[in-house]
A and B are shown apart, each in its own frame.
Chain A
Amino acid sequence: MSRDDPSTERDVSSVSTVGNAEFTASPPNGLVTAADSATVSQSVISRWNPRELALTVLFLAPAVVGLGAFVIFPLFQAVYLATMGSDILGNPTRFVGFQHFEELFTPDFGAVLARTAGFTLMVVVAGVVLPMALAVPLSQRLPGMRVFRTLFTLPFAYSASAASVVWLLMLNPAMSPVNWLLQLVGVTAPGWTTDSGWALVTVAGVTVWMVSGFNLLVLAAGLAGLDEQVLEAARIDGASGIRHFTGIVLPMISPSLFFVIVTTTLTALQSLGQPQVMTDGGPNGATSTLVYSIFNQAFHNNNSNYGLASAQGLVLLIVGVLLAAVQFGVIERRVHYR
């Protein structure tokens, strides 16, 4: 049930006509002068009393101040920093114009972007397919499924650094149970984190393991909420196997699927712990993704290259917004909401 009764609709539409004037005219503390309120439509005035106004300001202030100071303001600060060169201590001291942005159009940074794209793609595909391949069998009416489901969500508890260190041990040649298994079937294990051809795949694999727990949780909940009658009807109509899954089940859980794809994309794009702890961006920069590069330029080894790091941060912002726009614009259209 939505709370959007007709009066709320009227309220919103009145905002859209006078909203801009209000936004700029009211003082920062939110107190509205008599002249301002005169422009506000009748329906709003009748509901406004000083007490409620004070309460509104009081209630909104903590979130607005917190997000304004540490999310909105830093965005502008990042643009400013990106145009500044720093001294040896990292203090922004001189204006360099577009120099840092020009440095983004180099083969080195192109490689960083390509790596980030490859990493994100691997994590999203495997990080959605694997939990799906577990959630579907788990949704059957069989004993023990609940226990399995709970166990499979446990990787969700691991932080980036904890998962990275544990997997470094899992892949450490001195003790690796993974290498041991491969040896049993006659395969020589690669240098998981030391071979530049494998490092990014390894780091992506660990990230898939990390996200699999939460994604399974969401997909299993989506499958559990399916309408039994629809499924039954489909079965009577002869849908079975793959066709039953892609034609009936997949569209019905598409909201959960969409949610998982969006959150996994963001998680992958923002991963720092895995490449920093497991490989420190190496070998030879093979795991230097966009976020690792930001960390590396700004904070690693006292590099203090805040200008370039800020410019790369803006690239991350644009990539994130573009991906979300594509996902919401293209994929969500095909999502079937009940």
Chain B
Amino acid sequence: MSRLNRPGKVTSTFTYVWLVVAAVVLLFPILLTVLGGFLPSIDLLRQPPNLLGHYTVDSYIGALQQTVVPLLPAFGNSLFVGLVIMLAHLVTSCLAAYALVFLRTPLRTPLFWLFMATIMVPYEAIVVPNALFIRSLGIGDSRFALVLPFLANGFGVFLLRQAFRQFPGELRDAATIDGCGHVRFLFTILLPGCRPAIAALAVWSFLQGWNMYFWPLIISSTNNSLNTLQTAVFALRSNDSADPGLLLAGITITLLPTLLLVLFGQRWLVRGFTAGAVK
């Protein structure tokens, strides 16, 4: 590990002061989210909110019991969206990246640029035709409407292509000489060898799916049972009867998997991303 420098006393004091000030400002909203869900309105609705107040789980019970925006089905939908998009990205990206790197097709170069071009298209630019398309397919009331447009991803193909290209050619040649076919090579040698990139894509895709907002907002606008936690939080907040404690309890529930992933998955994310995109 290389570091910038070994600072003197004055510099290090200044460093700690700045970091503590920044931490208080930047992390207070997180503290408020996590603790606020356990606090009654009396403690929250004062300036500043009293984070050492009368702890209770009433807000969580209230959030789970309220029938305006049922949170448990929304949790199920979010989990469905996150997991299906993650698995689909892994499968479609692995296969396509493998074909681009190891299978010889004259379409290799045009297809690669086609995948790259799709990264350039902001999803919001094509959200209208996609919404009309999903409705015309008649599946607007199915859970699959939440995920169908996101099963393949150009960035996923790019990320894995970069990883596959860095796979040692000698290992590939040795496997070929041993009579190892493409499918066996992919699943038993290549994928285990590219675990950092696979893990990075899995974490990134799950976060994308779980935190997606615009699309589920459109899909759930015609069918409330398709709310994800993200749209449910918005619907809760639009409902006047929701007090801050209940809102924060709901938000903490939406944050559970993502906070864990950011805490424990960030190492994979950085390693997998920087290998392909930065270097």
Q: Interface of A with B (CB < 8 Å)? A: 1-5, 11-12, 14-16, 18-19, 22-23, 30, 40, 44, 47-48, 52-53, 55-56, 58-60, 62-67, 70-75, 77-78, 81, 90, 133-134, 136-142, 144, 148, 150-163, 165-170, 172, 174-177, 179-181, 209, 212-213, 217-218, 221-228, 231, 235, 249, 255-256, 259, 266, 269-270, 272-273, 276-277, 291, 294-295, 298-299, 306, 309-310, 313-314, 316-317, 320-321, 324, 337-338
> Is A159 a contact partner of B258 (Cβ separation < 8 A)?
yes
Closest 3 CB pairs of A and B: A66-B152, A77-B129, A159-B211
Min C-beta distance of A24 to chain B, whole Å: 11
B180 at the interface (CB under 8 A from A): no
> Is B120 a contact partner of A324 (Cβ separation < 8 A)?
yes
B52 at the interface (CB under 8 A from A): no
Q: How far is the CA of A65 from the CA of B111 in the complex (A)?
A: 12
If A47-B104, A218-B274 touch, whether A151 touches B23 (CB-CB below 8 Å) is: yes
> Is B255 a contact partner of A320 (Cβ separation < 8 A)?
no
Q: How far is the CA of A266 from the CA of B277 in the complex (A)?
A: 15
CB contacts (< 8 Å) of B101 on chain A: these are 3
Contact pattern, B 133-170, Cβ under 8 Å of A = 1, otherwise 0:
10000000000000011111110010000001111110
Interface of chain B, helix or strand or loop or mixed?
Answer: helix
CB contacts (< 8 Å) of A337 on chain B: these are 279
> Is A134 a contact partner of B22 (Cβ separation < 8 A)?
yes
CB contacts (< 8 Å) of A277 on chain B: these are 234, 237
Interface of chain A, helix or strand or loop or mixed?
Answer: helix
CB contacts (< 8 Å) of B33 on chain A: these are 162, 166
CB contacts (< 8 Å) of B168 on chain A: these are 1
Chain B residue, CB-CB nearest to A335: B278
Q: How far is the CA of A152 from the CA of B26 in the complex (A)?
A: 7
13 interchain pairs, CB-CB under 8 A: A63-B115, A63-B152, A66-B88, A71-B154, A154-B30, A177-B48, A213-B262, A235-B5, A255-B278, A272-B213, A273-B230, A277-B234, A313-B126
> Is A176 a contact partner of B15 (Cβ separation < 8 A)?
no
